[in-house]
Structure 1
Amino acid sequence: MIRTSLAASALLLALCAVASAADNPALKKCMDSANTTADMVTCNAKEAKVQDARLNKAYKTALAAQEGARRQQLQDVQRLWIKYRDANCAFAGSATGSTIDQVNGSGCVLDMTQTRAQELEDLVGP
């Protein structure tokens, strides 16, 4: 039963990584040409760097738009979010003990970073 649940979780996480690729032409192209698990992890890591730069820019902009206690609150929330993302993706990246975990873990980091960048961008608006 537990093995079935873990396998289902791993499949779900892999599908989430594929959904991200469908929304991102550069990632999709990279994943389409990936022949190994290492290639897929490299694709995720490359796009995660792009999204991390986006997140950092959005964070700086959002932070500059805050005043007083809200500024400190955003700093605290962002630090907690980073800890959560890292812990959550480490968990996702160790679900089955197979090599797909590496893809799931790197895909998790990519997805969560992309989502958080959008959240921070939305704090400030267009």
Structure 2
Amino acid sequence: MNRKTLLVPFAASALLLAFCGSAAAAENAALKKCMDGANTTADMVNCNAKEAKVQDERLNKAYKTALAAQEGDRKQKLQDVQRLWLKYRDANCAFAGSATGGTIDQVNGSGCLLDMTQTRAQELEDLVGP
């Protein structure tokens, strides 16, 4: 194996880690503090999982509020879109969490789940407004 072949998977995993774990941590003091104290892959995954639970609760609340605000066929369309989004999120993060075959994949996958859930919660909140 040549050096260039070895660098491609490493660069891809570094890019995924930067993409999947940094957005949520940069905006969330509790997550940043948890990640700053994380010494192992399991610690990092646990930090992501803890915050993902918070964001999932936020997502569910935002979804219920947005759904209640819809009228006519828009209610069914939002339900359909949300079901598709959940499938996409899960598939996308499973893909992100299997890029290298190494332990960093666990961090990438859990970070992806967190970031996507947080972003979707914001999208749903924005449907209704403040």
Q: TM-score surpassing 0.5? A: yes
Task: Summarize deviations over 1:9-33 as a string: whole Å, max 9, x none.
Answer: 2111211313321211000000000
Letter in 2 for 1:121: E
Q: 1:40 aligns with which of 23, 40, 44?
A: 44
Long gaps (5+) in structure 1:
none
TM-score (norm 2): 0.92
* Residues 34-88 of structure 1, C-alpha deviations (whole Å, 9 max, x = no match): 0100000000000000000000000000000001110000000000000000000
User: Does 1:74 pair with 2:84?
Assistant: no
Alignment partner, residue 98 of structure 2: 94
Letter in 2 for 1:57: K
Counterpart AA for 1:47: E
Aligned-partner Cα distance in 1 for 2:74–2:6: 44
1:12 equivalenced with 2:12 (yes/no): no
Size of the aligned set, in residue pairs, is 126
- Following TM superposition, the consecutive aligned residue runs of length 4 or more in structure 1 with deviations greater than 6 angstroms are none
CA contact (8 A) 2:23 2:115 kept: no
1:25 aligns with 2:29: yes
Query: What residue ranges of structure 2 are gaps of 5+ in the alignment?
Result: none
CA distance in 2, matches of 1:112, 1:2: 30
How many angstroms apart in 1 are the aligned matches of 2:47 and 2:78?
30
Aligned CA RMSD, in angstroms, stands at 1.3
Query: Which amino acid counterpart does residue 10 of structure 1 have in structure 2?
Result: S
Would you say 1:116 and 2:120 are equivalent positions? yes
